[in-house]
Amino acid sequence: MARILIPLLASLWVSAIALVAIQNAAPVSLRFLGLQTVEVPIGLLLAFSVSLGMAMAALLLPLVSTRRR
C-alpha cells in the first residue's frame, strides 16, 4: 500500500504546486537583508522554495533517523 501511496501523494503535491504556479504569474522581487532579486513570477519562486525545502528534508532525514536509534 505504501508503495502506491507515497508516489501518489508526491504527484498530487507536484500537481498542486504546478497549479498554483500557473495561476500566480505576476512578477515580484524578493527582498532579504537589504538585497533584492530580479523580478520573477510568484509561482516560480514558490516552486523553487518548495523544491529546495523537499531536497533539504530528504538530505536531513537520515541524520534525524539515526539519532532516534
Please give the pLDDT value at position 68: 59
- What are the tens digits of pLDDT across the range 23-60? 877 888 888 888 888 888 887 888 788 889 888 988 88
pTM (global) more than 0.75:
no
Domain positions in the chain are: 13-68
- What are the tens digits of pLDDT across the range 8-25? 888 888 888 778 778 877
Residue 2 CA: distances (Å) to CA of 6, 8, 10, 12, 61: 6, 10, 12, 15, 18
Tell me if residue 27 falls in helix, strand or coil: strand
User: 2 pLDDT exceeds 80?
Assistant: no
User: 6 pLDDT exceeds 60?
Assistant: yes
Residue linked to cell 528534508: 57
The Cα 51–Cα 48 span in angstroms is 5
**Which grid cell sits at 36?**
533584492
